[in-house]
Structure 1
Amino acid sequence: MDSDRIEGKWTELKGKLREQYGDLTDDEIEEARGNREQLEGKLQQKYGKTKDEARKEVDRMLDSI
């Protein structure tokens, strides 16, 4: 279900990611392409977030869409 939510709202989620995380490149965002684990991994790697923090950020963005 969760991956379905991300894939279904991917275009909107990409916009939110670009707004909030300007250091993420379009290529990095596209690498994740609807895959929650990869997206969380990018947030952890690029911003030094913990796994739990990254998961909460993705949840928050999905809830706001």
Structure 2
Amino acid sequence: MNKDLFESQWSQIKPILRDKWSNLTDEDIRQINGRYDQLIAKIQQRRWL
């Protein structure tokens, strides 16, 4: 996915993230807040927990 598209479509993407990556917490989603780089960092972090 294109970074700009991700950031502009954040409100529509949030529910999809919750379904696809169930190990992301509500706090993770709040911290990501539409920033693609934060999404990648959180997925990598949660993947190794």
Interval containing the TM-score (normalised by the shorter chain): 0.7 to 0.9
- Secondary structure in 2 matching 1:11: helix
Q: Whose RCO is larger (CA < 8 A, sep 6+)?
A: 2
How many aligned positions are there?
47
CA RMSD for the aligned pairs? Answer: 1.3
Deviation at 1:8, TM superposition (A): 1.5
Report the TM-score, using the length of structure 1 for normalisation. Answer: 0.62
* Gap runs ≥5 in structure 2: none
Q: 2 CA distance for matches of 1:26 and 1:9? A: 18
- Runs (4+) of structure 1 exceeding 2 A deviation are none
One-letter amino acid matched to 1:32: I
Q: Percent identity?
A: 34
Unaligned runs of 5+ in 1: 49-65
TM-score, with structure 2 as normaliser: 0.78
More helix, by proportion: 1
Maintained 8 Å contact 2:7/2:36: no
- The CA deviation string for residues 10-61 of structure 1, in whole angstroms up to 9 with x for no partner, is 011111110011111111011011111111000001014xxxxxxxxxxxxx
